[in-house]
Chains A and B, each alone.
Chain A
């Protein structure tokens, strides 16, 4: 348990309430698509890099779900007075809307940092055999979550640093591969990096939060493009032989 009260966070202006949840929902759908396909690749090839990629995006999916759950309770007052809301209150009076928001924000931080950390490990081609390095990085995830819960800016600074490293890895990947899809992936993560840079400053202006969310939406939509392009590619006919 943390030795202090968890702060709750709602950054957006009132007119934007709910729109950010829709943006988060888009991110959830795109992340689930990546989780599904990379897991399918893992099942087919048994190569662990696909599994870890799948797990990293699953962690990001959980992070966005936490954010949606935490903010919806505040955005929709009718939820509080609904049957579910009354049931939750019936369990314990300690469960307040702000409390739920604070707890989900903590989980959001944890899953987001964990997801980006795993992605960084995969794209940097660090071997998972080096368990001491992995243990150290997982420790850093816990520390980053703790610090992020104390002050949200430290959380976004951590994700910004991780995204910088991820973007750098994708840049070197594009330099080696030189394909349109690799460029699109680099571009998408570059936009996500920009959105996290905006998130650092949301405390100063609610408009920055709107800009950060929209930038994040563009980043995730850009991430969808290479995925669609890969799927549009039809397999070569000569493979399609019958037994």
Chain B
């Protein structure tokens, strides 16, 4: 049986959850692996997440890292409800 294609909401949820599971910040390579996306797609999503202020780009010991923000955490808390609302109301 083929797995159902992830929607945008699920992808964002997976990315943010990956960051959270790594203690709130993650290296780009780890995020790429965990979110199961192509490099270009991940960049696209990260750009959007940063624009929405859910993720911040920081530098730690000269290395680029991505940090989940309060808004990102709020999204994760609300994700299941949003998903259920979206599914139930056919959005």
Contact = CB atoms under 8 A, between A and B. Distances in A.
A137 to B, nearest CB: 18
Nearest to A182: B88
B80 A236 contact: yes
Contacts of B82: 41, 44-45
Contact of B85 (A122, A230, A239, A240): A230
Interface stretch (B28-36, B37-45, B57-65, B71-79): B71-79
Interface residues of A, number: 32
Nearest to A52: B91
B77 A239 contact: yes
> Interface SS of chain B: helix, strand, loop or mixed?
helix
B8 interface: yes
B27 interface: no
Contacts of B3: none
B73 A230 contact: no
25 contacts: A44-B75, A45-B75, A45-B82, A46-B52, A47-B8, A49-B86, A50-B86, A123-B89, A123-B90, A173-B87, A177-B87, A177-B88, A179-B84, A179-B88, A181-B87, A184-B88, A226-B89, A230-B84, A233-B80, A235-B76, A235-B77, A239-B79, A240-B77, A241-B20, A241-B73
Ordered nearest first, which 10 A-B pairs have the shortest CB separation? A181-B88, A173-B90, A123-B90, A239-B76, A235-B77, A49-B91, A230-B84, A182-B88, A177-B87, A41-B82
